[in-house]
Amino acid sequence: MKSINVFLMAALVAGSVFASDAAPKAAKPDLAKGEASFGAVCAACHAADGNSGTPANPKLAQQHPEYLIKQLQEFKSGKRANAIMSGFASQLSDEDMRNIAYWVSSKAAKPGFAKDKDTVALGERIYRGGIADRQVPACASCHSPNGAGLPAQYPRLSGQHADYTTTQMLSFREGTRKNSMQMSMVAAKMNDREIKAVSDYIAGLR
């Protein structure tokens, strides 16, 4: 019995050592600072509430904060190449990125609309069912049927500007955007018409 008690005591001590060595939890994001930083650095291109009105600039409102942080870090490191965004991201600390990402993710995204009635059926077919003969998976399998995405893994797409989505898909296909091997492989199997069709369909998801 004594040996068992000694064993249990040793286990408890070891557990407390491991617990003390664990990485500290990230500080809770400061949304007030996030709002101030967003207004100073991001709002000119992405609008005051993250609902960009410029088709070339993405809507950020309601995007998963973990995804936004990852993109900002990769702009800063150069893993995702964009001269404008790399310049802005280089000025941000990890804390700034967290504050900004969590603040803009708390803003409600405004809905978008599909505009090309001639290709909306093709876009829906690709989004929901993929392209079987080329082994292109359904977009919905990762980004969810309504485009909400999966937090920390796959971004929200619902209502995103079609022009922006098209540009990113083409960049993946051409190898100028290299921070997602999965998306590069998907885009490599799609032609221009398919990319534009699915991008337009995504704009109308809600």
Chain segment 124-139, per-residue pLDDT in tens = 999 999 999 999 999 9
pLDDT reported for residue 165: 98
If pLDDT is split at 50, 70 and 90, which confidence band does 13 have?
Answer: very low
Structural domains of the chain ordered from first start = 31-105 (1.10.760.10), 120-203 (1.10.760.10)
- How far apart CA 35 and CA 31 sit, in angstroms, is 6
Provide mean pLDDT across the span 17-32: 65
**Residue 136: beta bridge partners?**
131
The residue with greater pLDDT, 14 or 98, is 98
Quote the pLDDT of residue 152.
Answer: 85
Report pLDDT for 25: 64
Q: 14-23, 113-122, 195-204: lowest mean pLDDT where?
A: 14-23
Asked if residue 134 lies in contact with residue 27, where contact means CB atoms within 8 angstroms, the answer is no
Read off the pTM: 0.86
Whether 56 shows a pLDDT value over 80: the answer reads yes
Does residue 174 carry a pLDDT above 80?
Answer: yes
**16 pLDDT tier (thresholds 50, 70, 90):** very low
Residue 76 has pLDDT above 70, yes or no: yes
What is residue 27's predicted lDDT score, i.e. its pLDDT? 77
SS (H, E, C) the chain: CHHHHHHHHHHHHHHHHHHHHCCCCCCCCCHHHHHHHHHHHHHHHHCCCCCCCCCCCCCCCCCCHHHHHHHHHHHHHCCCCCHHHHHHHCCCCHHHHHHHHHHHHCCCCCCCCCCCCCCHHHHHHHHHHCEHHHCECCCHHHHCCCCCCECCCECCCCCCCHHHHHHHHHHHHHCCCCCCHHHHHHHCCCCHHHHHHHHHHHHCCC
Q: Which pLDDT score is estimated for 24?
A: 52
Average pLDDT over residues 47-63: 98
Do the Cβ atoms of 111 and 170 come closer than 8 Å? no
Work out the angle at residue 69's Cα, subtended by the Cα atoms of residues 64 and 75, and round it to the nearest 5 degrees.
130
